[in-house]
Amino acid sequence: MNYDFSKLKSEGERIKDRFKQEVASLRTGRANPVMVEDLLVESYGAKTPLKHLAAIGAEDARTLRITPWDASVVKDIESAIIASNLGVQPIADKQSIRISMPALTEDRRKALVKTLSAKLEESRISLRQERDKIWKDIQDKEKNGEIPEDYKFRFKDELQKNIDKISAELEEMAKKKEQEIMS
């Protein structure tokens, strides 16, 4: 008799993907298009992600170039970047916008690590909630006589092994990002 942990595995992947996306948007001093691609820009009467309005590329390690497909939205994009909390100053010309990444100060690095820790904790909470749902399902099946009691505890151990594996992967991603931030 086996319990189907596929829902946990797919939820675990979703949690890891979301964490990876959130972590990628943390600025490490290197220019990375991911930092701005989901920035919402007020254009054509609607809020649109920047990646749908422009090509975003890294000119060098510290500079991003944003080239809109329609030059009339340059000012809108510039306004959205200024309004965002990225800590960068855009420089616009007629066809594109350049963003130079300033070097990170020690205080900013510590603040980023703190934000990273908060995002890691959010992911852990989501994982624990998923674990609790599955554990409740296992207990309900045991109460309804669908599985014997000794299987319930075997499934609980297997559940915890899966949770520990996903948690370790989240920790590893956070550790790599922290090293990137602090170097």
What domain count does the chain have? 2
Q: For residue 167, what is the domain's CATH number?
A: 1.10.132.20
Whether residue 125 is found in the same domain as residue 170:
yes
Residue 69 has a pLDDT of 93
Domain of residue 34 covers: 30-100
Q: Percent helix, strand, coil in the chain (nearest 5)? A: 60, 15, 25
> Is the model's pLDDT at 95 over the cut of 80?
yes
> Is the model's pLDDT at 54 over the cut of 70?
yes
Q: Is residue 36 part of a domain?
A: yes
Per cent of the chain over pLDDT 70 is 98
Question: How far apart, in whole angstroms, are the C-alpha atoms of residue 148 and residue 151?
Answer: 5
Q: Is residue 1 part of a domain?
A: no
